[in-house]
Structure 1
Amino acid sequence: MTTLFWKACLVATAFTGLTACSNYLDVNVTPNNPTSVTPGVLLPSSVVGTAFANANELNRFGEVVVQHLAGAANNPANYDVYQTNGADFGNQWRFELYGGALINYQKLIETANLTNSKAYTGIAKIMKAYTFSLATDVWGDVPYSQALQGDVIPQPRLDKQQDIYQGNTASGIQSLFDLVREGLADLDAATATGYTGIKPGNDDLVYNGDLTKWKQAGNTMLLKFAATVSLVNPQLATSVINEVLTKNQYINSNTNDLNVPFGASVGSQDPRYSYSFVTNFATDLILSTRFLNLLQANNDPRLPLYFTSPGGKYTTIDNGFRGVLPSPTSTWSKYNTAIVGNTGVGPVRLITNFQRAFILAEAALRLGTPGDPQALYTEGITASMALAGLTSAQITAYLAANPTVATLTGTNEQKIAQIITQKYIALTGNGIEAWNDYRRTGYPTLQPSQNAAGIDGTRPVRAVYINEEVQRNPNFPNPSPQSNTKVWWQTK
């Protein structure tokens, strides 16, 4: 692996060490000012930072809340019974998102602009939009248009989530859609004849400098954002989906997924692997009995690829379980190589071919956008199973032998439930995306955890603002919305 890869991984690893840090960091002030740092150094650290934020504590929260995993101890055990508050996710907000990936993208854009390097600004704007979507999807209204300007605006306002997604010209708020479009326009400029700016190479850990693939990823990101708002603004969602389909430039192969790789050595591994197999928290998480039951009921061939079965048996607990845990812990079922790779190389999958297929299948039914829902649904299952490591023959045989899974039946709403349930299975390892879909659609149907507590025993539908920001920035609401308060795009 390249030196740049290891530099990027070390940046992500630095975040891990902050889990016990008590020092305050103003998230709206650049923690350093690397005026001499080149785009080629900033790009890998920024992208790995986003992947780390997606796959670290926020993923553990999401995976437990949607019952892919169960929490056996520490924070995951609290999440499993819906207990979360402003003391959670401080490191994710301050160090991984605002003080990490987002400020790095901002610095990358500023640095690349000095040499008119549109290739770098294009990638940075696309990934900046994705990273801001993480923040707003988790917390709702967040600093956005005034964020990352610490010297000028040390206490930024919170922009409404609907303005972050839709834009608000009067308030000077650019939509996430337009931020991605701006990035795509930069990439078009970088691939036009006569371009003289710098282009990435092996410092691009995702596509190794292939800007066409970055364009496909950006357009597929537009589809993801469209799906997110499809129930509250179907007109916007329909318009964006038709725009992308007309351009016909999106991820349509697993080889073009927006994947971020990690390293195989301790200190550079995928955070999902490190947490469950390397750190002192290795017995915090275990496969959920409920998810095991779903996969087994479907005869799903991804099960042994997604999760380990030491001794040939799946060892699980129910969500919210508070009894004696299975012993020895070496028998516990945890993420397998299809999720975290061999010895933790990942990758973390941010935008995938199977997501695109399931998004378009749902949209065809819900919005009437182009495409055959059944064909797109089959494409999504096939892409997910192939990604897990199944052969074409195995996938074909499974679909033929399991028609109740393979064939969409019933009303449009029942078909959408099937689509989202298969997407939910395919999203194993990406708890935030699975949680987003659950909040948005209500699918799959999930029963409350045992011993459910939290706010009225209800499953969290947002994270509570972190205490440090509420205390330092008067623009944050005090008291904060609690974990049972829906975000704007949630209707279920």
Structure 2
Amino acid sequence: LLDVSEVISQPVYDTQESIYTDMLKELKEAAAQLTAEPGLSSFGSADILFNGNAERWVRFANSLRLRLAIRVRYANETLAREHITDVIGKPLIEANNQAATLRTIDGADINNRNPLYNSYLNSNGYPLWVGLTVTQNLLQRNDPRLEKFADPATDGVSGYKGRPMCLFADEKLPYGESTTAFLDYSFRTPVYDIQVMNAAEVAFLRAEAALAGLTNEDAEAMYRKGIELSMTQYNVAAGAITAYLGDEFGSLSGAEEEQLREIIIQKYLANFWLGAESWAEYRRTGYPEIWTGSDLGSTNGRIPRRGTYPQTEYSLNEKNVRAAAARLQGGDLMTSRIWWDSKPGLPYLHPKQGQFPPEIY
């Protein structure tokens, strides 16, 4: 135990840049240690991700480092390039059977079950609606994953109509229980493999790195590989995958920013139900564009870009939390942009922002 004189009751906040720099360093060192000492004792079945398989931990560490390096590229390209260049030739998550997943347990402790199954039971089977951003991007691309992610509205007419965000009562009327697409039950089974990091995401990270000139890989090849991996993950038929890859959205085209947009939207779809990562990518890149309704809320209609510091910090550590908040342009607001959220010109508006209804497809 620490002596009372050693306790730090008012810690200084590290900068976001220093935290990311250290996380990248720690991941590099961890992967190197596991690679250099493969004979270390295994945690075996106590390892709930990889069952003691050190090689899969190495792939996860390298892939996670690639994710973080891409995340900071608009804020510190030198740091991003350093780690992308170093990690791109190392073992990564490249196949669906190498993905980081957490399988839930249908046992005596219901907290170990799929949380979406528990919500299904607790709500007597009430559906979870699929968002407009998901359905519209899938419909635009005639994407076969649509029927894997969602079930059509039960009225037999509305089809795969997703529910938008930030609606007033009158705007909610077209999006009732029978007129809105809902989450497929395959996501709500008691035993479910929660995605931590999948192979498709890693392919799209590599596509972006190549597009930005940070590697010598082929952006087009990595993009197509990401699509194929995601569709295979969701058991899309091989013929449907081939047809999709041969269609308009199966290849990159246009200016660099247009290609980046398509890479990020495909990654967004591949990371379906990984909300935190999708939110990070939206803030970092501006994609996919998100339509919001007339309920402006406390952010005046803007999608939050961060969480605010808790009030307890202002009560117990005021000097240091105010110093941290002062580093944010705009201060401690949900709309202030954090360090890596530095791409110019964001956010990008949805093409039908300010119009109702928002559906295009």
| TM-score strictly above 0.5 | yes
C-alpha contact (below 8 Å) 1:257/1:352 kept by paired residues: yes
Please show how residues 228-377 of structure 1 align to structure 2 within 5 Å: 228-246=71-89, 248-264=90-106, 266-275=110-119, 277-280=120-123, 285-309=128-152, 311=154, 313-314=159-160, 316-323=162-169, 329=177, 333-337=181-185, 340=187, 343-377=189-223
Q: Which has the higher contact order (CA 8 A, sep 6+)?
A: 1
Residue 477 of structure 1 aligns with which residue? Answer: 322
CA-to-aligned-CA distance 1:278-334 (integer Å, 9 cap, x gap): 335986952223432221121111111112336464464332222255797477533
Paired residue secondary structure (1:267): helix
Return the TM-score normalized by structure 2: 0.82
C-alpha contact (below 8 Å) 1:361/1:377 kept by paired residues: yes
User: What is the alpha-carbon distance in structure 1 between the residues aligned to residue 128 and residue 298 of structure 2?
Assistant: 19
Please show how residues 201-240 of structure 1 align to structure 2 within 5 Å: 201-240=44-83
Write the letter of the residue equivalent to 2:229: A
Paired residue secondary structure (2:189): helix
Please show how residues 14-25 of structure 1 align to structure 2 within 5 Å: none
C-alpha contact (below 8 Å) 2:302/2:335 kept by paired residues: yes
Q: Tell whether 2:282 aligns with 1:438.
A: yes
Residue 73 of structure 1 aligns with which residue? Answer: none
1:181–1:422 CA distance, 2 compared to 1 (3 A) = same
C-alpha contact (below 8 Å) 2:153/2:182 kept by paired residues: no
Please show how residues 162-173 of structure 1 align to structure 2 within 5 Å: 162-166=17-21
C-alpha contact (below 8 Å) 2:84/2:214 kept by paired residues: no
C-alpha contact (below 8 Å) 2:299/2:334 kept by paired residues: yes
Q: Tell whether 2:37 aligns with 1:154.
A: no
C-alpha contact (below 8 Å) 2:133/2:288 kept by paired residues: no
Residue 358 of structure 2 aligns with which residue? Answer: none
Write the letter of the residue equivalent to 2:301: G
The Cα of 1:481 is off from its aligned counterpart by 0.8
C-alpha contact (below 8 Å) 2:211/2:219 kept by paired residues: yes
Paired residue secondary structure (1:375): helix
Paired residue secondary structure (2:261): helix
User: What is the alpha-carbon distance in structure 2 between the residues aligned to residue 226 and residue 470 of structure 1?
Assistant: 32
User: What is the alpha-carbon distance in structure 2 between the residues aligned to residue 161 and residue 251 of structure 1?
Assistant: 27
Please show how residues 68-217 of structure 1 align to structure 2 within 5 Å: 152-166=7-21, 175-192=22-39, 195=40, 198-217=41-60
Write the letter of the residue equivalent to 1:257: A
CA-to-aligned-CA distance 1:192-249 (integer Å, 9 cap, x gap): 4xx4xx3111111211111001101100011001111011111221221111123x31
Return the TM-score normalized by structure 1: 0.61
Moved more, 212-221 or 237-246: 237-246
User: What is the alpha-carbon distance in structure 2 between the residues aligned to residue 331 and residue 264 of structure 1?
Assistant: 32
Please show how residues 22-61 of structure 1 align to structure 2 within 5 Å: none
1:274–1:239 CA distance, 2 compared to 1 (3 A) = same
Unaligned runs of 5+ in 1: 1-28, 31-148, 167-174
The Cα of 1:190 is off from its aligned counterpart by 3.9
Paired residue secondary structure (1:260): strand
Unaligned runs of 5+ in 2: 326-330, 344-361
The Cα of 1:344 is off from its aligned counterpart by 3.5
1:411–1:389 CA distance, 2 compared to 1 (3 A) = same
The Cα of 1:405 is off from its aligned counterpart by 0.8
1:299–1:371 CA distance, 2 compared to 1 (3 A) = same
C-alpha contact (below 8 Å) 1:360/1:373 kept by paired residues: yes
User: What is the alpha-carbon distance in structure 2 between the residues aligned to residue 380 and residue 327 of structure 1?
Assistant: 32
Write the letter of the residue equivalent to 2:181: S
User: What is the alpha-carbon distance in structure 1 between the residues aligned to residue 342 and residue 269 of structure 2?
Assistant: 22
